[in-house]
Amino acid sequence: GTGCLVKAVETAAQREAFIIGKPNRYMFDCVVSEFNIDPARTIMVGDRLDTDILMGNSCGLTTLLTLTGVTTLDEVKGHQESDCPARQSLVPDYYVDSIADLLPALGD
């Protein structure tokens, strides 16, 4: 979403930006080192395939897509049926219509 702004700053600064946001794993690595998080026991929840789910998958996390954002289930199915590894990396482990769908499970 901010690619145009980043490019403008890069041009003005005559330097290439170092991106730390999703899907770059830099931010996750910082959190892991600070809080001793076990990726095998961590879930990435998000509503975008190209940022949230891609980051979770590239960091070895279980991924949960909420269908409250820009992503549709048809889009997920298209990636799932693809033979392209880049598209496969966008497929979440699970999905829910809304994060509110998880509330009953959290009460247990």
- Per-residue pLDDT reduced to its tens digit, 41-77: 999 999 999 999 999 999 999 999 999 989 999 999 9
Reference 59, options 71, 46, 48, 43; nearest CA is 43
| CATH code at 2-105 | 3.40.50.1000
Stated pTM of the model: 0.85
CA angle at residue 19 from 16 to 65, to 5 degrees? Answer: 150
Domain boundaries, the chain: 2-105
Q: How many CA atoms lie within 13 A of 96 on its CB side?
A: 13
The answer to whether 64 and 95 are in contact (CB under 8 A) is: yes
